Amino acid sequence: MTTARPDRDAARRTRPGLLEALAADPATRLVLVDARGRVSLDAPAQHTDLPLDGLTPARDRPAGEALELAPVTAADLDLAGLETYYLGREALDGASWLAVVVPDGTTDLADAEGAARPHADLDALLARFPLSALRAVGAHLSALAACLATPAVALAAWHASHRYCPACGARTERAEAGWAQRCTGCGRVSFPRTDPAVIMSVTDERDRIVLVHGSTWQAGRFSTIAGFVEAGESAEAAVAREVAEETGLRVASVEQVATQPWPFPRSLMLGYRARLEPGEEPARPDGEEVTDVRVLSREELAAAVDSGRIVLPGTTSIARMLIEDWFGGPLGR
Ligand SMILES: [Zn+2]
């Protein structure tokens, strides 16, 4: 299966009139999202159940299993008055993609008596293709759908929360087809923020893995340690600090593995392997973020997962990927 990753086509973002031209082209494909992290899917039901931890924009899945975006083009929707961002071109056929932000209240006011319905065609589309929480469905999306929905949701959340200039307080306006903002007062240009977070498989000198139970998680759920990189801190230092804070264990070395965007609202997960200093045991949970710590061999973890005593993060989350990277194969499937 090919990886149908869209071309982000950044060079075209600054072309004058790009969004208007794409809105007027009936072939333009649309990604309907809102500022609360939801996306319209080609599925009859809403998916809003949030997992306790990780989702994940998916890797490729066999045809027939993946959820796809709602099949909507600019021929189906009058985009006048709606906020749009340019997401790029389809790599195979060159079609352009626009993110369209569903205004707050569009879905909530449907039954309000006498309410003005400025976007009746949008209402009709959303009735057919409801919005679902990306956080809940991300693991089930096709690779292309995940590659489009993830930046669309990230941009919508950024614009919704950054209406005013941090330098002078004047209103900001969208620039570069949604990928920047320009202040209407002082002209300052700003770009979407991404907050880096580290997530790591931690192993000891006997190659056992350290898993933690978060204080807000359901009973039995265990995952890898994770946390935000602080101001002025390297990601490698953040790995060692988070491990020490949550478990009291000292890290000897770290190695970067993979990364994953996490636009809830704006994180980037940086995946690491971390090796503990020799003789680091037993672990002590911090009692606040983490209430239980297990240090497990492969045999012990496999048995705990098979018996249901330990529940791991979802099968396409980066946390699960790091655990299975250490384990050497799939667990409990
Ligand atoms: Zn300003």
From the list 261, 24, 285, the residue with the least C-alpha distance to 149 is 261
Ligand 1 centroid to Cα of residue 173, in Å, is 11
pTM recorded for the entire structure: 0.84
Tell which residue, 60, 65, 221, 238, has the closest CA to residue 146.
60
Local confidence pLDDT in tens for the 333 residues of the chain: 445 688 999 999 999 999 999 999 999 999 999 999 999 999 876 665 544 333 333 333 344 468 999 999 999 999 999 999 999 998 788 899 999 999 986 654 444 455 556 788 999 999 999 999 888 888 788 889 999 999 999 999 999 999 999 999 999 999 999 999 999 999 999 999 999 999 999 999 999 999 999 999 999 999 999 999 999 999 999 999 999 999 999 999 999 999 999 898 899 999 999 999 998 777 788 888 899 999 999 999 999 999 999 999 887 678 999 999 999 999 986
Instruction: Name the 3-class secondary structure at 240.
Output: helix
What is the distance in A from the centroid of ligand 1 to the CA of 86?
24
Determine the distance separating the centroid of ligand 1 and the alpha carbon of 23, expressed in angstroms.
Answer: 29
Q: Where are the beta strands (DSSP E) in 204-250?
A: 209-214, 225-228
Q: How far apart are CA 98 and CA 148, in angstroms?
A: 9
How many angstroms separate the alpha carbon of residue 153 from the centre of ligand 1? Answer: 25
Q: Tell me the residue length of the chain.
A: 333
What's the gap in Å between 24 CA and the centre of ligand 1? 32
Residues with CB under 5 A from ligand 1 (ion): 165, 167-168, 170, 183, 185-186, 188
CA of 51 relative to ligand 1 center, distance in Å: 39
Residues 6+ apart with CB under 8 A from 179: 10, 13, 85, 86, 155, 191, 192
